[in-house]
């Protein structure tokens, strides 16, 4: 019931959306595709959900070929597209009922699967879907994608445009669904969500940069990372860019993350340089790398 992707390539006109992508998702795994907009995540989802045909390569979902057995796949996957794609003029309940009916089931039959999510939107069940908040919409869309008890669940950026609290809830729900033997492929541009997946593929420009468990990706980060802060952020960015020792420097929250070309680089070296540039309130601390650091390093 897993997913297998072998040497998939897809181009639109001259743009190469996917370039020789291969990976496996094990049955029951929560697998994340992490990457910025334009990385090719949506194209990959559409190929796996049988909506597009790849130019090259082959893929199977739950053992079925995405081109030849598309009818079988359409029966057993749940798909939540990146854009909110429910009927805005139908109420919450009508939407859910509609999707249950076209998959030949009823809300009652699979209620236990969606119960956790649905209880949160049930108070609004007579509200039109178009009038829900962003988080509510996503919960409804997930309920609709789950209503027929799919074997494989495809979630294309389910948390984009959702507030942090709802995002956290959403991921808790996904974790619980995983317990019910559903294979989940999820994409997100938020690096902090990557740590919640079993395994992730870091994607950019239609290619996979690295594929591993999130912890392994962090552990394989090759350099020491320093977080840097001074009174003048803008001048700090300029100065770090021209520093001869700099390997990389990019903003990370209220800090700058800095790596050096030298392996035995010390915080004092940087403090000395910044003092020379007349910075005040200098703060340089060694810190743990994150998925985002790995991504920045890999996509350099």
Partner 1 sequence: MKRFIGFIKKEFYHIFRDKRSLFILFGMPIVQVMLFGFAITNEINNVDIAILDHSKDANTKQIIDKISASKYFSIKDFLDNERDIETAFKKGEIKAVLNFEKDFSKKLMTENQATVQILTDATDPNTANTISNYTSSILSSYQELLNKDISIPYQIGVQTRMFYNPELKSVFMFVPGVMTIILMLVSAMMTSISITREKELGTMEILLVSPLKPFQVIVGKVVPYILLSVINAIVIILLSIFVFSMPVEGNLFLLGAETILFIMNALSLGILISTVSASQQTAMMVSLMGLMLPVILLSGFIFPISSMPFPLQVISNIIPARWFIIILKGIMLKGVGLVYLWKETLILVGMTLFFIALSVKKYKIRLE
In the chain, which ranges are E strands? 3-12, 15-25, 30-34, 56-61, 64-65, 77-80, 152-156, 183-188, 199-204, 207-212, 225-229, 246-252, 255-260, 283-287
- Among the listed ranges 14-22, 51-59, 119-127, 169-177, the one in contact with partner 1 (CB under 8 A) is 51-59
**C-alpha closest to that of 47 among 25, 72, 26, 73:** 73
Contact criterion met (CB below 8 Å) for 200 and 32? yes
Angle formed by the axes of helices 267-276 and 233-242, to 10°? 110
Residues 55-94 that bind partner 1 (CB under 8 A): 70-71, 74-75, 77, 79, 81, 83-90, 94
* Per-residue contact flags (x/-) with partner 1 for residues 200 to 239, judged by CB under 8 A: ----------------------------------------
Span interacting with partner 1, options 95-103, 171-179, 184-192, 202-210, rule CB under 8 A: 95-103
- Given candidates 99, 118, 258, 295, which one binds partner 1 under the rule CB under 8 A? 99
| Minimum CB distance to partner 1 smaller for 4 or for 50 | 50
Residue 180, burial from CB neighbour count under 10 angstroms (0-12, 13-18, 19+): exposed
Residue 53 binding partner 1, by CB under 8 A: yes
- For residue 256, the 8-state DSSP code is E
Minimum Å distance from CB 152 to partner 1? 11
Beta bridge partners of 24: 4
To partner 1, the closest distance from the beta carbon of 123 in angstroms equals 21
User: Is residue 107 within the footprint of partner 1 (CB under 8 A)?
Assistant: no
Interaction of residue 132 with partner 1, rule CB under 8 A: no
Q: Of residues 102, 213, 219, 231, which one binds partner 1 by CB under 8 A?
A: 102
Residue 46, interface with partner 1 (CB under 8 A)?
yes
Under the criterion CB under 8 A, does residue 101 sit at the interface with partner 1? yes
Residue 40 is given by DSSP the state: S
Number of residues that bind partner 1 (CB under 8 A): 30
* Burial group, residue 235, by CB count within 10 angstroms (0-12, 13-18, 19+): middle
Q: Output 84 or 250, the one with its CB closest to partner 1.
A: 84
**Shortest Å distance, C-beta 151 to partner 1:** 13
Kindly tell me the burial class for residue 254, based on how many C-beta atoms sit within 10 Å of its own C-beta (0-12, 13-18, 19 or more): exposed
Quick one: which segment of 42-50, 161-169, 178-186, 239-247 binds partner 1 (CB under 8 A)? Answer: 42-50
Between the two ends of the chain, the Cα-to-Cα distance in Å is 35
Least gap, CB of 102 to partner 1 (angstroms): 5
Indicate the residue among 74 and 235 with the shorter CB distance to partner 1: 74
Sheet containing 64-65, strands listed edge to edge, beginning at the edge strand earlier in sequence: 15-25, 3-12, 56-61, 64-65
Count other C-beta atoms under 10 Å from residue 46's C-beta.
21
The stretch among 48-56, 110-118, 158-166, 268-276 that binds partner 1 (CB under 8 A) is 48-56
157 vs 138: CA distance, rounded Å: 10
Binding residues (CB under 8 A) for partner 1: these are 46, 49-53, 70-71, 74-75, 77, 79, 81, 83-90, 94, 97-99, 101-104, 144
């Amino acid at each position: 019931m897993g997913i297998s992707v072998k040497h998939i390539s897809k181009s639109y006109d001259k743009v190469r959306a996917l370039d020789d992508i291969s990976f496996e998702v094990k049955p029951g795994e929560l697998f994340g595709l992490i990457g910025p907009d334009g990385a090719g995540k949506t194209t990959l989802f559409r190929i796996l959900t049988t909506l597009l045909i790849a130019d090259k390569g082959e893929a199977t979902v739950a053992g079925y070929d995405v081109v030849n057995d598309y009818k079988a796949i359409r029966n057993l996957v749940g798909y939540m597209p990146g854009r909110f794609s429910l009927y805005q003029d139908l109420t919450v309940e009508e939407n859910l009922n509609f999707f249950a009916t076209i998959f030949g089931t009823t809300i009652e039959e699979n209620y236990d699967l969606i119960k956790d999510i649905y209880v949160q939107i049930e108070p609004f069940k007579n509200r039109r879907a178009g009038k829900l908040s962003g988080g509510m919409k996503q919960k409804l869309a997930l309920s609709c994608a789950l209503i027929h008890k799919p074997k494989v669940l495809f979630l294309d950026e389910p948390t984009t445009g959702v507030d942090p609290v709802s995002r956290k809830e959403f991921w808790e729900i996904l974790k619980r669904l995983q317990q019910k033997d559903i294979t989940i492929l999820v994409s997100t541009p938020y690096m902090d969500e990557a740590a919640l997946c079993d395994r992730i593929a870091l994607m950019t420009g239609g290619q996979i940069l690295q594929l591993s468990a999130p912890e392994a990706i962090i552990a394989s980060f090759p350099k020491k990372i320093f977080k840097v802060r001074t009174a003048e952020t803008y001048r700090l960015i300029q100065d770090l860019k021209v520093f001869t020792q700099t390997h990389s420097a990019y903003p990370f929250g209220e800090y700058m993350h800095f790596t050096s070309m030298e392996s035995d680089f010390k915080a004092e070296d940087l403090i000395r340089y910044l003092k020379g540039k007349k910075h005040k309130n200098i703060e340089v601390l060694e810190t743990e790398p994150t998925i985002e650091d790995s991504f920045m390093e890999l996509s350099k």
